[in-house]
């Protein structure tokens, strides 16, 4: 263990918390290969794989589960030492924990760090997958903010409505037969194929809008599974006839970089048809009510990020969407 440095420890803790090595690389502003080397060094030192790649994301091994609290304690103690040894005129750096659904995790860390640089602030943060334990973690101080699809009912938590989703992208492999359909007539074709649900807890974790649509058509939608980690979606789609929906521009941009995957923005008429019985998702920012617990610039940046990711911002439907994707992956818009 003597060759394991603090950076490697921080990488392990962040990968354990997010189960997504790419998001960790983005958050730390390093190449993904550096994250892989750190994990490889740790695996070699411990003689354990630490993380096993499953169909929908990483799964920590029992050794990783045991190691995590000790490594997390090391980082906390280091933070306390730095706080006590810093000049009193310099405010101590605080580590923020933000819960976000998989479709909003892409680029979130890098956007927040870039804004921190503009503000002249030091920012240490972890972006973790949204889960049912999020509200309780906020109350117990284990997390600072949570992006959610519904408001919290807990008295000590405040909920800020951000916006309602206006975008939906259809994602499948390049040679999928569904791409032969015209943009305004895809839904009836989509329900002929297995559907991979990209999970959005509190929105489609029980039943997806496409399931309701299929039921209304007297059809049965075949579910291929549920993906809670965006990085595994492309692998699943490449090896099957499955199709999935993504509701955030940043997530679509992320998936567009995978070879063999095509993306098309759903037309406005079909978007409305799909959400006839199940309204589009609402987005909320949830945090503790304590005044000043999170800086206002961080809160505002989060809200701006969500709004720009899930709504038809000015010019996005015609110009911005084409800027996001390579020419062969641009969403096909309805005439």
pLDDT digits (tens, 9 = 90+) for 274-302: 998 889 999 999 999 876 678 899 999 99
Q: Is the pTM of this model over 0.85?
A: no
Distance, in Å, from the CA atom of 323 to the CA atom of 295, rounded to the nearest integer, reads 32
3-state secondary structure (DSSP) of residue 249: helix
Among residues 112, 142, 127, the alpha carbon closest in space to that of 19 is found at: 127
Task: Give the C-alpha separation, 245 to 157, whole Å.
Answer: 31
Please tell me the predicted confidence (pLDDT) of residue 206. Answer: 76
Residue with tokens 């924990």: 97
More confident of the two residues 106 and 181: 181
* Comma-separated ranges of CATH 3.40.190.10 domains in the chain: 169-279
In total, the chain counts a number of residues equal to: 335
Q: Which of 206, 255, 248, 212 is nearest to 231 (CA)?
A: 255
Exposure letters 306-317 (e unless 16+ CB within 10 A, then b): bebbbbeeeebb
* pLDDT surpasses 50 at 87: no
Which among 249, 285, 280 has a CA at the least distance from the CA of 265?
249
Q: Is the pLDDT of residue 116 over 50?
A: yes
Which residue intervals of the chain bear CATH 1.10.10.10? 1-79
Assign 282 to helix, strand or coil: strand
Helix 6-18 vs helix 21-28: crossing angle, to nearest 10:
130
Share of the chain above pLDDT 70, in %: 84
pLDDT of residue 331: 41
One DSSP character per residue, 279-326 reads: PPPEEEEEEE-STTSS-HHHHHHHHHHHHHHHS--TTIIIIIHHHHS-
**pLDDT-derived band at 316, boundaries 50, 70, 90:** very low
What integer pLDDT is reported at residue 51 of this predicted model?
A: 87
pLDDT above 90 as % of the chain: 29
Asked if 267 contacts 183 with a C-beta cutoff of 8 angstroms, the reply is yes
What is the rounded average pLDDT of the residues 326-331?
Answer: 39
Q: What dihedral angle (degrees, nearest 10) is formed by the CA atoms of 172, 101, 123, 121? A: 90
Return d(Cα 234, Cα 227) in angstroms, integer: 10
Residue 9 pLDDT more than 50?
yes
Render pLDDT for 155-194 as a digit per residue (tens, 0 to 9): 889 999 999 999 999 999 999 999 999 888 899 999 999 9
**Side-chain half-sphere of 210: how many Cα atoms within 13 Å?**
26
Q: What is the pLDDT of residues 196-225, one digit of tens each?
A: 888 777 676 678 899 999 999 999 999 888
Torsions phi, psi of 125, nearest 5? -150, 160
Q: What distance in Å separates the CA atoms of residue 222 and residue 204, rounded to the nearest whole number?
A: 15
How many CB atoms lie under 10 A from the CB of residue 124? 15
Note the pLDDT of residue 258: 84
pLDDT at 174: 92
CATH class of the domain comprising 1-79 = mainly alpha
Beta carbons of 237 and 196 less than 8 angstroms apart: yes
Q: What value does the mean pLDDT of the chain take?
A: 82
Looking at the predicted structure, is the pLDDT value of residue 265 above 60? yes
Helix (H) / strand (E) element for 25: namely helix 21-28
* Residue 153 reports pLDDT greater than 80: yes
Which of 110 and 56 is assigned the larger pLDDT? Answer: 110
| Largest distance between two CA atoms of the chain | 69
CA distance 27 to 112: 9
CATH C-level class of 169-279:
alpha beta
User: For residue 281, which of 172, 205, 194 has the smallest C-alpha distance?
Assistant: 205
Q: What is the pLDDT of residue 7?
A: 86
Q: Where are the beta strands (DSSP E) in 130-168?
A: 145-148, 157-164
């Amino acid at each position: 263990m003597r060759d394991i440095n603090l950076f490697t420890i921080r990488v392990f803790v962040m990968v354990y918390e997010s189960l997504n090595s790419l998001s960790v690389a983005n958050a730390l502003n390093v190449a993904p290969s550096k994250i892989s080397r750190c994990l490889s060094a740790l695996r070699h030192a411990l003689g354990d794989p630490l993380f096993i790649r499953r169909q929908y994301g990483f799964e920590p091994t029992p050794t990783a589960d045991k190691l995590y609290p000790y490594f997390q304690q090391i980082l906390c103690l280091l933070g306390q030492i730095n706080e006590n040894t810093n000049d009193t005129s310099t405010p101590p750096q605080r580590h923020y924990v933000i819960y976000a659904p998989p479709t909003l995790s892409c680029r979130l860390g890098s956007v927040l760090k870039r804004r921190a640089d503009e503000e002249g602030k030091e920012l240490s943060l972890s972006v973790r997958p949204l889960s049912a334990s999020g509200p309780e973690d906020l109350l117990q101080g284990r997390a600072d903010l949570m992006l959610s699809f519904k408001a919290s009912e807990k008295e000590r938590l405040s909920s800020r409505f951000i916006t309602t989703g206006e975008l939906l992208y259809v994602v499948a492999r390049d040679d999928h037969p569904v791409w032969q359909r015209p943009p305004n007539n895809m839904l009836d074709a989509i329900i002929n194929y297995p559907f991979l649900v990209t999970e959005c807890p509190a929105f489609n974790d029980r039943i997806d809008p496409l399931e309701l649509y299929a039921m209304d058509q007297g059809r049965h939608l075949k579910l291929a599974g549920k993906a809670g980690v965006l990085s595994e979606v492309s692998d699943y789609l490449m090896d099957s006839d499955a199709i999935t929906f993504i509701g955030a521009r940043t997530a679509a941009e992320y998936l567009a970089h995978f070879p063999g995957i095509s993306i098309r923005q759903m037309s406005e008429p079909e978007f409305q048809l799909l959400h006839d019985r199940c309204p589009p998702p609402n987005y909320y920012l949830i945090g503790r009510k304590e005044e000043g617990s999170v800086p206002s610039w961080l809160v505002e940046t989060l809200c701006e990020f969500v709004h720009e990711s899930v709504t038809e911002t000015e010019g996005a439907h015609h110009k911005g969407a084409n800027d996001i994707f390579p020419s062969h992956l641009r969403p096909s818009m309805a005439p």
